[in-house]
Amino acid sequence: MNEKELRSMSGYFLFLIGLVLLFGGVIYVVTTGSPIAGIIISVTGFIILIGLTVINPNEAVVTTFFGDYMGTMKQSGLRWVNPLFRRKKMSLRARNLNGQKLKVNDKLGNPIEIAAVVVWRVGDTAKASFEVDDYIKYVEIQSEAAVRHLAGIYAYDTMEAEELEIHEVTLRDGSGKINEMLEAELTERLSRAGVDVLESRISHLAYAPEIAGAMLQRQQASAVVAARRQIVNGAVGMVDMALAMLSDKGIVNLDEERKAAMVCNLLVVLCGEKSVTPVLNAGTLYP
Protein backbone atom coordinates (compact mmCIF):
# COMPACT_ATOMS: atom_id res chain seq x y z
CA MET A 1 0.00 0.00 0.00
CA ASN A 2 1.39 3.36 -1.06
CA GLU A 3 0.44 6.83 0.01
CA LYS A 4 -1.94 8.82 -2.16
CA GLU A 5 -2.96 12.44 -1.84
CA LEU A 6 -6.49 13.37 -0.82
CA ARG A 7 -7.64 16.72 -2.07
CA SER A 8 -9.63 18.68 0.48
CA MET A 9 -11.50 21.97 0.49
CA SER A 10 -10.55 25.08 2.42
CA GLY A 11 -12.58 25.05 5.61
CA TYR A 12 -12.79 28.74 6.47
CA PHE A 13 -15.86 29.51 4.36
CA LEU A 14 -17.56 26.25 5.33
CA PHE A 15 -16.83 27.01 8.97
CA LEU A 16 -18.85 30.22 8.69
CA ILE A 17 -21.65 28.43 6.86
CA GLY A 18 -21.78 25.73 9.52
CA LEU A 19 -22.01 28.27 12.33
CA VAL A 20 -24.70 30.21 10.52
CA LEU A 21 -26.79 27.06 9.92
CA LEU A 22 -26.27 25.75 13.45
CA PHE A 23 -27.38 28.91 15.23
CA GLY A 24 -29.80 29.86 12.46
CA GLY A 25 -31.77 26.67 13.05
CA VAL A 26 -32.05 27.46 16.76
CA ILE A 27 -33.20 31.01 16.03
CA TYR A 28 -35.68 29.69 13.44
CA VAL A 29 -37.27 27.36 16.01
CA VAL A 30 -37.55 30.16 18.57
CA THR A 31 -39.05 32.71 16.19
CA THR A 32 -41.36 30.53 14.07
CA GLY A 33 -42.16 27.71 16.46
CA SER A 34 -41.51 25.09 13.75
CA PRO A 35 -39.06 22.60 15.35
CA ILE A 36 -38.66 20.19 12.44
CA ALA A 37 -37.28 22.70 9.94
CA GLY A 38 -35.07 24.27 12.59
CA ILE A 39 -33.64 20.91 13.65
CA ILE A 40 -32.86 20.02 10.02
CA ILE A 41 -31.06 23.32 9.54
CA SER A 42 -29.05 22.91 12.78
CA VAL A 43 -28.16 19.30 12.04
CA THR A 44 -26.95 20.32 8.57
CA GLY A 45 -24.70 22.96 10.09
CA PHE A 46 -23.43 20.46 12.68
CA ILE A 47 -22.54 17.92 9.97
CA ILE A 48 -20.62 20.58 8.08
CA LEU A 49 -18.66 21.47 11.21
CA ILE A 50 -17.81 17.80 11.81
CA GLY A 51 -15.98 17.68 8.48
CA LEU A 52 -13.54 20.41 9.53
CA THR A 53 -9.96 19.44 10.41
CA VAL A 54 -7.03 21.60 11.56
CA ILE A 55 -3.70 20.46 10.04
CA ASN A 56 -0.50 21.93 11.44
CA PRO A 57 2.73 22.35 9.41
CA ASN A 58 4.61 19.05 8.97
CA GLU A 59 1.50 17.10 9.89
CA ALA A 60 -0.68 14.73 7.88
CA VAL A 61 -4.17 13.31 8.28
CA VAL A 62 -4.82 9.74 7.11
CA THR A 63 -8.46 9.15 6.14
CA THR A 64 -10.47 5.93 5.83
CA PHE A 65 -14.07 5.29 4.84
CA PHE A 66 -15.60 2.09 6.19
CA GLY A 67 -12.20 0.38 6.18
CA ASP A 68 -11.04 1.69 2.79
CA TYR A 69 -8.00 3.97 2.61
CA MET A 70 -9.15 7.19 0.94
CA GLY A 71 -5.94 9.20 1.01
CA THR A 72 -3.73 11.49 3.07
CA MET A 73 -4.17 15.23 3.55
CA LYS A 74 -1.00 17.27 3.99
CA GLN A 75 -2.21 20.81 3.24
CA SER A 76 -1.79 22.86 6.41
CA GLY A 77 -4.56 25.05 7.73
CA LEU A 78 -8.30 24.53 8.26
CA ARG A 79 -9.48 21.87 5.78
CA TRP A 80 -12.83 20.18 5.11
CA VAL A 81 -13.49 16.61 3.98
CA ASN A 82 -16.40 14.22 3.98
CA PRO A 83 -17.70 14.12 7.59
CA LEU A 84 -18.05 10.32 7.33
CA PHE A 85 -14.32 9.87 6.82
CA ARG A 86 -12.38 8.57 9.80
CA ARG A 87 -9.33 10.75 10.35
CA LYS A 88 -6.00 10.00 12.07
CA LYS A 89 -3.32 12.65 12.53
CA MET A 90 0.33 11.76 12.03
CA SER A 91 3.44 13.89 12.57
CA LEU A 92 5.91 14.30 9.70
CA ARG A 93 8.56 16.00 11.82
CA ALA A 94 12.04 14.55 12.33
CA ARG A 95 12.41 12.48 15.49
CA ASN A 96 15.37 11.28 17.53
CA LEU A 97 15.74 7.75 18.80
CA ASN A 98 18.42 7.61 21.48
CA GLY A 99 19.03 3.89 21.71
CA GLN A 100 19.87 2.27 25.01
CA LYS A 101 23.22 0.63 25.67
CA LEU A 102 23.25 -2.94 24.37
CA LYS A 103 25.61 -5.62 25.60
CA VAL A 104 26.57 -7.82 22.64
CA ASN A 105 29.49 -9.90 21.40
CA ASP A 106 31.59 -8.58 18.53
CA LYS A 107 33.01 -10.65 15.67
CA LEU A 108 35.80 -12.02 17.88
CA GLY A 109 33.42 -12.93 20.70
CA ASN A 110 34.45 -10.09 23.01
CA PRO A 111 31.57 -8.59 25.04
CA ILE A 112 31.08 -4.92 24.23
CA GLU A 113 28.61 -2.14 24.97
CA ILE A 114 27.17 -0.26 21.99
CA ALA A 115 24.41 2.29 21.42
CA ALA A 116 23.23 4.35 18.46
CA VAL A 117 21.28 7.54 17.76
CA VAL A 118 18.84 7.48 14.83
CA VAL A 119 17.15 10.51 13.27
CA TRP A 120 14.02 9.49 11.37
CA ARG A 121 10.63 10.66 10.15
CA VAL A 122 7.56 9.26 8.48
CA GLY A 123 7.86 9.34 4.69
CA ASP A 124 4.85 7.23 3.65
CA THR A 125 1.83 7.67 5.91
CA ALA A 126 -0.08 4.78 4.32
CA LYS A 127 2.63 2.23 5.11
CA ALA A 128 3.14 3.64 8.59
CA SER A 129 -0.59 3.32 9.29
CA PHE A 130 -1.47 0.00 7.67
CA GLU A 131 1.70 -2.06 7.07
CA VAL A 132 2.77 -2.26 10.73
CA ASP A 133 0.86 -2.30 13.99
CA ASP A 134 2.79 0.49 15.75
CA TYR A 135 5.37 2.25 13.60
CA ILE A 136 7.08 3.98 16.57
CA LYS A 137 7.61 0.68 18.37
CA TYR A 138 8.65 -0.88 15.06
CA VAL A 139 11.40 1.73 14.66
CA GLU A 140 12.71 1.07 18.18
CA ILE A 141 12.83 -2.73 17.79
CA GLN A 142 14.33 -2.73 14.28
CA SER A 143 16.95 -0.14 15.26
CA GLU A 144 18.07 -2.32 18.16
CA ALA A 145 18.18 -5.38 15.87
CA ALA A 146 20.28 -3.49 13.29
CA VAL A 147 22.80 -2.36 15.93
CA ARG A 148 23.10 -5.90 17.29
CA HIS A 149 23.63 -7.31 13.80
CA LEU A 150 26.27 -4.69 12.93
CA ALA A 151 28.19 -5.29 16.17
CA GLY A 152 28.24 -9.03 15.47
CA ILE A 153 29.84 -8.83 12.01
CA TYR A 154 32.71 -6.48 12.95
CA ALA A 155 35.38 -6.63 15.62
CA TYR A 156 35.72 -3.88 18.19
CA ASP A 157 39.45 -3.67 17.52
CA THR A 158 41.61 -6.16 15.62
CA MET A 159 45.08 -5.86 17.14
CA GLU A 160 46.41 -8.89 15.30
CA ALA A 161 45.46 -7.30 12.00
CA GLU A 162 47.41 -4.17 12.93
CA GLU A 163 50.51 -6.24 13.60
CA LEU A 164 50.19 -7.95 10.23
CA GLU A 165 49.39 -4.61 8.55
CA ILE A 166 46.00 -5.88 7.42
CA HIS A 167 43.53 -3.02 6.92
CA GLU A 168 40.23 -4.34 8.25
CA VAL A 169 37.24 -2.21 9.20
CA THR A 170 36.61 -2.22 12.94
CA LEU A 171 33.94 -0.66 15.12
CA ARG A 172 36.49 1.59 16.84
CA ASP A 173 38.44 2.89 13.86
CA GLY A 174 35.90 2.64 11.02
CA SER A 175 33.26 4.95 12.48
CA GLY A 176 32.50 6.66 9.16
CA LYS A 177 31.94 3.46 7.22
CA ILE A 178 30.20 1.80 10.17
CA ASN A 179 27.72 4.69 10.36
CA GLU A 180 27.07 4.43 6.62
CA MET A 181 26.42 0.70 6.85
CA LEU A 182 24.15 1.20 9.86
CA GLU A 183 22.14 3.83 7.98
CA ALA A 184 21.84 1.59 4.93
CA GLU A 185 20.62 -1.36 7.00
CA LEU A 186 18.13 0.80 8.91
CA THR A 187 16.80 2.24 5.66
CA GLU A 188 16.18 -1.27 4.36
CA ARG A 189 14.57 -2.49 7.57
CA LEU A 190 12.33 0.55 8.11
CA SER A 191 11.17 0.98 4.51
CA ARG A 192 8.35 -1.50 5.22
CA ALA A 193 6.90 0.96 7.73
CA GLY A 194 7.28 3.98 5.41
CA VAL A 195 9.99 5.51 7.60
CA ASP A 196 12.88 7.55 6.17
CA VAL A 197 16.23 7.41 8.02
CA LEU A 198 17.84 10.85 7.96
CA GLU A 199 20.95 10.03 10.00
CA SER A 200 22.31 7.29 12.23
CA ARG A 201 25.47 7.26 14.32
CA ILE A 202 27.14 5.12 16.95
CA SER A 203 26.81 7.14 20.17
CA HIS A 204 28.49 4.75 22.63
CA LEU A 205 31.12 2.08 22.13
CA ALA A 206 33.22 0.40 24.81
CA TYR A 207 34.34 -2.95 26.08
CA ALA A 208 32.11 -4.55 28.70
CA PRO A 209 33.24 -3.74 32.27
CA GLU A 210 34.34 -7.31 32.99
CA ILE A 211 37.06 -7.24 30.29
CA ALA A 212 37.72 -3.51 30.02
CA GLY A 213 40.81 -3.63 32.29
CA ALA A 214 42.42 -6.55 30.47
CA MET A 215 41.76 -5.01 27.06
CA LEU A 216 43.25 -1.69 28.19
CA GLN A 217 46.45 -3.47 29.22
CA ARG A 218 46.52 -5.25 25.89
CA GLN A 219 46.11 -1.99 23.99
CA GLN A 220 48.90 -0.38 26.02
CA ALA A 221 51.19 -3.35 25.34
CA SER A 222 50.40 -3.19 21.63
CA ALA A 223 51.15 0.53 21.59
CA VAL A 224 54.52 -0.04 23.29
CA VAL A 225 55.44 -2.81 20.83
CA ALA A 226 54.44 -0.65 17.87
CA ALA A 227 56.53 2.26 19.19
CA ARG A 228 59.54 -0.01 19.73
CA ARG A 229 59.18 -1.43 16.24
CA GLN A 230 59.22 2.05 14.75
CA ILE A 231 62.25 3.06 16.79
CA VAL A 232 64.19 -0.04 15.73
CA ASN A 233 63.30 0.45 12.07
CA GLY A 234 64.47 4.05 12.21
CA ALA A 235 67.68 3.13 14.04
CA VAL A 236 68.58 0.40 11.54
CA GLY A 237 68.00 2.83 8.69
CA MET A 238 70.24 5.45 10.28
CA VAL A 239 73.02 2.91 10.93
CA ASP A 240 72.84 1.67 7.36
CA MET A 241 72.96 5.23 6.04
CA ALA A 242 75.98 6.07 8.26
CA LEU A 243 77.95 3.03 7.09
CA ALA A 244 77.09 3.72 3.46
CA MET A 245 78.19 7.35 3.68
CA LEU A 246 81.49 6.44 5.39
CA SER A 247 82.21 3.86 2.70
CA ASP A 248 81.17 6.03 -0.28
CA LYS A 249 83.16 9.09 0.80
CA GLY A 250 86.20 7.06 1.82
CA ILE A 251 86.44 8.72 5.21
CA VAL A 252 87.50 5.54 6.95
CA ASN A 253 87.85 1.90 5.98
CA LEU A 254 86.26 -0.43 8.47
CA ASP A 255 86.64 -4.17 8.61
CA GLU A 256 83.79 -6.45 9.64
CA GLU A 257 84.72 -6.42 13.32
CA ARG A 258 84.82 -2.63 13.51
CA LYS A 259 81.55 -2.38 11.59
CA ALA A 260 79.94 -4.75 14.09
CA ALA A 261 81.21 -2.66 16.99
CA MET A 262 79.97 0.55 15.37
CA VAL A 263 76.56 -0.95 14.65
CA CYS A 264 76.28 -2.16 18.24
CA ASN A 265 77.18 1.25 19.68
CA LEU A 266 74.82 3.15 17.37
CA LEU A 267 71.89 0.82 18.10
CA VAL A 268 72.45 1.20 21.84
CA VAL A 269 72.48 4.98 21.51
CA LEU A 270 69.47 5.20 19.19
CA CYS A 271 67.25 2.56 20.84
CA GLY A 272 68.03 3.29 24.47
CA GLU A 273 65.34 4.85 26.65
CA LYS A 274 67.81 7.04 28.52
CA SER A 275 70.54 9.32 27.27
CA VAL A 276 73.93 7.62 27.06
CA THR A 277 77.27 8.83 28.36
CA PRO A 278 79.95 8.85 25.66
CA VAL A 279 83.25 7.09 26.42
CA LEU A 280 86.32 8.17 24.44
CA ASN A 281 88.71 5.43 23.45
CA ALA A 282 92.22 6.86 23.39
CA GLY A 283 93.82 3.64 22.27
CA THR A 284 93.05 1.11 19.61
CA LEU A 285 90.61 -1.74 19.27
CA TYR A 286 93.47 -4.14 18.69
CA PRO A 287 96.13 -5.12 21.25
CA–CA dist 248, 261 (Å, integer): 19
pLDDT at 39 over 80: yes
54: confidence class by pLDDT, cuts 50, 70, 90: very high
Reported as a single tens digit per residue, the pLDDT across 247-269 is: 777 666 766 777 777 777 676 66
pLDDT at 17 over 60: yes
Residue 88 pLDDT = 94
Q: Which helix (H) or strand (E) holds 228?
A: helix 209-249
Residue 261 pLDDT = 73
Going by the DSSP 8-state scheme, the letter that residue 71 receives in this structure is: E
CA–CA dist 235, 271 (Å, integer): 7
Percent of the chain exceeding pLDDT 70 equals: 80
CA–CA dist 243, 247 (Å, integer): 6
CA distances (Å), 268 to each of 156, 162, 229, 279, 284, in order?
37, 27, 15, 13, 21
Is residue 153 within 8 A of residue 178, CB to CB? The reply is no
Reported as a single tens digit per residue, the pLDDT across 135-178 is: 999 999 999 999 999 988 888 876 544 443 445 788 877 678 88
Of 16-20, 43-47, 147-151, 238-242, the least confident: 238-242
Determine the straight-line distance between the first and last CA of the chain, rounded to whole angstroms. 99
CA distances (Å), 31 to each of 22, 41, 97, in order?
15, 14, 60
Residue 114 pLDDT = 92
Percent of the chain exceeding pLDDT 90 equals: 46
pLDDT at 32 over 90: no
pLDDT at 218 over 90: no
Reported as a single tens digit per residue, the pLDDT across 179-214 is: 999 999 999 999 999 999 999 999 888 888 776 666
Is residue 228 within 8 A of residue 236, CB to CB? The reply is no
CA–CA dist 165, 162 (Å, integer): 5
279: confidence class by pLDDT, cuts 50, 70, 90: low
